[in-house]
Amino acid sequence: MNCAVIVVGAGRGTRHGGEVPKQYQLLGGTPVFTRTLMTFLNHNRINTVIAVIAEDAAPLFTSISEGLAVRTVFGGASRTASVRAGLAALADTPPDLLLIHDAARPLVSESLITRLIEAASPEAGAAPGMALSDALKKVDHTAQAGEDVARAGLVSVQTPQVFPFAPLYKAYKALADNEDLPDDLAVARTAGMKCKIIPGDVDNFKITNPGDLERAERIVQPQNGFQLCVTGTGYDVHRLIPGTQMMLGGVPIKGDLALLGHSDADAALHALTDALLGTIGAGDIGDHFPPSDPQWKNVDSTVFLQKALDLLGQQSACVRHVDLTIICEKPKIKPHRAAMRARLGELLGLDPSHISVKATTTEGLGYTGRGEGLAVMATVTVSR
């Protein structure tokens, strides 16, 4: 069954407040409108997504929807007019079922969408409803409480509301141009269409009034804002040999020494790669790039580092801080420290203020003290 959705976001959101309409404000670091669209784009039962926006908000919408497979339609002066515009955009290739959803309901769940599609039919629609739990009373013009209103048989209706496309489109076309009804269910009823109310979702509320966005933030915080900080360590050693240049920390250092290794022997990047792999339990550099494999001969060690960063990205992990300690008698590291921090910042996407490069000697003791080799210790902090 072909299913399309119209996400209505042409309103101004004046009750919520703010310099931009509520649907463009950030929720968990993502615009509300974008979050809503992504839920439908990622649903395997949805074939087409239409976004209805205000014409003067087109540049703003473009900035928050880049790369999304969404068709855009300009809305009207009312919600009813905006939905009518979305319906007209689908008329040439009509879907079997149409879902209509408020852009300002960003916490709609995949399971609710599925249940609504399954509850609808070619003859009748479906909408989510919440039973009322608070006492209801009438209020007069002076804000004085009046008579009670019975809650039995009453529900608070949410979106998305789902209908067979053809009869709903016919019902909208039959309305007067200036007619504005509360929701799509009200329009469907004018044409005698039936609509089943199924249990809604308490989190599927509409961001309308001041405080609603903060409430939504508290809901998404556990999945989008909670960060487990982990520490990884790495250690690498390479033999020093006569040469004219070595790579260290992604920076070429000219002189009379080189580092011996299968790749470019950048001990700093190797230690850093191992530290990053350690934060996600992904083994070590040798597991991914065995020195016995000839394809890694003389390869730039940034390839190894990028592989570790890609693996971190697959687990939504982010590098927060890097601390490198280089242990050697030669070369002198201090003249190259700023360049190393800058280069590592480029490779990691970090500000150099979050990258530390230190150097020390072993006071002439051991293989580093004798100038036989160079060692690097790496410590990284990663949020997951």
* End residue of a domain, out of 167, 195, 225: 225
Query: Do the beta carbons of residue 159 and residue 100 sit within 8 Å?
Result: yes
Total domains, the chain? 2
Residue 343 belongs to a domain with what CATH number?
3.30.1330.50
Q: Is residue 293 part of a domain?
A: yes
Residue 229 pairs with which residues in a beta bridge? 383
Q: Note the pLDDT tens digit of each residue in 80-91.
A: 999 999 999 999
- Comparison of pLDDT for 214 and 101, the residue scoring more: 101
Same domain, 209 and 237: no
In this predicted structure, the answer to whether residue 2 has a pLDDT above a threshold of 90 is: yes
Are 63 and 190 in a shared domain?
Answer: yes
Mean pLDDT of the region 23-29: 88
Give pLDDT tens digits for 179-189: 999 999 999 99
Least reliable range by pLDDT among 36-45, 54-63, 222-231, 315-324: 222-231
How do beta strands 97-102 and 3-9 pair?
parallel
- For residue 348, pLDDT over 70 is answered with yes
HEC readout, 274-332:
HHHHHHCCCCCHHHHCCCCCHHHCCCCCHHHHHHHHHHHHHCCCEEEEEEEEEECCCCC
One-letter amino acid of 230 = V
Q: Are 84 and 39 in contact (CB under 8 A)?
A: no
CATH classification of the domain holding 89: 3.90.550.10
- How do residues 113-129 score in pLDDT, each as one tens digit? 999 999 999 999 999 99
Task: Please provide the average confidence, as pLDDT, over all residues in the chain.
Answer: 91
The predicted model scores a pTM of 0.59
Q: Same domain, yes or no, for 177 and 263? A: no
What's the domain range around 27? Answer: 3-133+150-225
Beta bridge partners of 373: 239
pLDDT band at 13 (very low <50, low <70, confident <90, very high): low
The DSSP bridge pattern shows strands 48-53 and 71-74 to be parallel
The model's pLDDT over 126-142, given as tens digits with 9 standing for 90+, comes to 999 998 888 999 999 89
Please report the pLDDT score of residue 245 as a whole number: 94
Q: 71 and 97: one domain? A: yes
The yes-or-no verdict on residue 226 having pLDDT over 60 is: no
206 and 326 together in one domain: no
